[in-house]
Amino acid sequence: MNADAAFSGKKALITGGLGFIGSNLARRLVGAGAEVTIVDSLIPQYGGNRFNVHDIRERLSVNITDVRDPHAMAQLIRGQDLLFNLAGQTSHVDSMQDPATDLEINAAAQLSILEACKKHNRGIKLVFASTRQLYGRPQYLPVDEKHPIHPVDVNGINKLAGEWYHLLYNDVYGIRACALRLTNTYGPGMRVRDARQTFLGIWIRNAIQGKPILVYGDGSQLRDFNYVDDAVDALLAAATGAQAEGQVFNLGSEEVISLRALAEKLIALNGSGRYEIVPFPAERKAIDIGDYYSDFGKIRAALGWSPKVSLEEGLRRTLDFYGRHGRHYWDEP
């Protein structure tokens, strides 16, 4: 039996569902026969883009609202089997410039979503998209889930609060929930308009458009990356495995690469382009975390997850996607 069969006929709500990861997840769930409702605010600075579901728009419901609207969320949560809770403010720099908005979305709205589950749907199961950002600057590598928490920006603090509300409601109220701490995720549907979600988006755009890729610092910083299909695999595994309940899992990859090498690889795969090593902008330097890569042994052991798509293959598919569909992503619709 295909693992996706577990989702046939299931009602699934995806917050941030017009965004990068949410829309790829929606596509998989629709293909598996799930009844999918997407919640998205379509705030221009965030990741939502209607084109992300252009191919499946007749096969799911799209509800434009903000996770900060407790009344709308309470209505939408009723009757759902699953909640993939992916909506978030993801820009580290924005979180420092407008910390109150980051708090509203990443902490306060999460708490109100969980309160709605408590009041209206205790049988729901939640998977929360958390982030490696809450570890801060690694004290050792690779970073496992026992690594001390030390966020270096407002976003990391608020995401941590959001994550822990989920685990708390699991432990205290029995509302099944788990959290995945995602590392850099990339692929078709990612925001490439600017560097708000990840620097890799604007790199891909610049490579395709023949503009220089800017590598901050000296380019030696190490990172790991997950292709979006692998991240979706992990979300689905977390939603089905009872072993996931109340747990936090790192995602990650055994392919670790420096930013400079990544820029070179991207240019090689693209067939053209150039990169420039430039000093960190001050507002990024203050919250930079240095080298980072994950130990994802816990989710491999508990849920059998490991990434399948190599960085080279993933970048190739991503370049191909934006080469064909870039016009839907370069600028605001």
Q: Provide, rounded to whole angstroms, the least separation between the CB of residue 277 and a copy of itself.
A: 24
- Comparing CB distances to a copy of itself, the nearer of 27 and 166 is 166
Between CA 54 and CA 33 the distance in angstroms is 18
Burial 183-212 (b: 16+ CB within 10 A, else e): bbbbbbbbbbbebbbbbbbbbbbbbbeeee
* Phi, psi of 317, rounded to the nearest 5 degrees: -65, -35
Q: Provide, rounded to whole angstroms, the least separation between the CB of residue 151 and a copy of itself.
A: 6
Which among 50-58, 94-102, 228-236, 269-277 is the span making contact with a copy of itself, rule CB under 8 A? 94-102
Is the separation of the CB atoms in 133 and 159 below 8 Å? yes
Give which of 39, 25, 8 is closest to 116, Cα–Cα: 39
Give which of 293, 275, 291, 159 is closest to 225, Cα–Cα: 293
Which among 5-13, 150-158, 252-260, 308-316 is the span making contact with a copy of itself, rule CB under 8 A? 150-158
- How many other CB atoms are there within 10 angstroms of residue 6's CB atom? 14
**Rg, Å, the chain Cα set:** 19
Helix or strand or coil: residue 125? strand
Which among 97-105, 120-128, 202-210, 219-227 is the span making contact with a copy of itself, rule CB under 8 A? 97-105
Residues 155-184 that bind a copy of itself (CB under 8 A): 157-158, 160-161, 164-165, 168, 171-172
The answer to whether residue 219 forms part of the interface with a copy of itself (CB under 8 A) is no
Q: Provide, rounded to whole angstroms, the least separation between the CB of residue 68 and a copy of itself.
A: 12
Q: Provide, rounded to whole angstroms, the least separation between the CB of residue 114 and a copy of itself.
A: 8
- Comparing CB distances to a copy of itself, the nearer of 137 and 308 is 137
- Comparing CB distances to a copy of itself, the nearer of 164 and 186 is 164
The answer to whether residue 99 forms part of the interface with a copy of itself (CB under 8 A) is yes
The answer to whether residue 151 forms part of the interface with a copy of itself (CB under 8 A) is yes
The answer to whether residue 105 forms part of the interface with a copy of itself (CB under 8 A) is no
The answer to whether residue 281 forms part of the interface with a copy of itself (CB under 8 A) is no
- Residue 65's Cα: distance from chain center in Å? 19
Tell me the CA end-to-end span of the chain in Å, nearest whole number: 41
What character string, x for contact with a copy of itself (CB under 8 A) and - otherwise, covers 114-133? Answer: -x------------------
Between CA 322 and CA 333 the distance in angstroms is 16
Q: Provide, rounded to whole angstroms, the least separation between the CB of residue 250 and a copy of itself.
A: 16
The number of residues making up the chain comes to 333
- Comparing CB distances to a copy of itself, the nearer of 1 and 172 is 172
Alpha helix stretches (DSSP H) within 147-296: 154-173, 199-208, 228-240, 259-270, 282-285
Give residues in contact with a copy of itself (CB under 8 A): 96, 99-100, 103, 107-108, 111-112, 115, 146, 148-149, 151-154, 157-158, 160-161, 164-165, 168, 171-172, 286-287
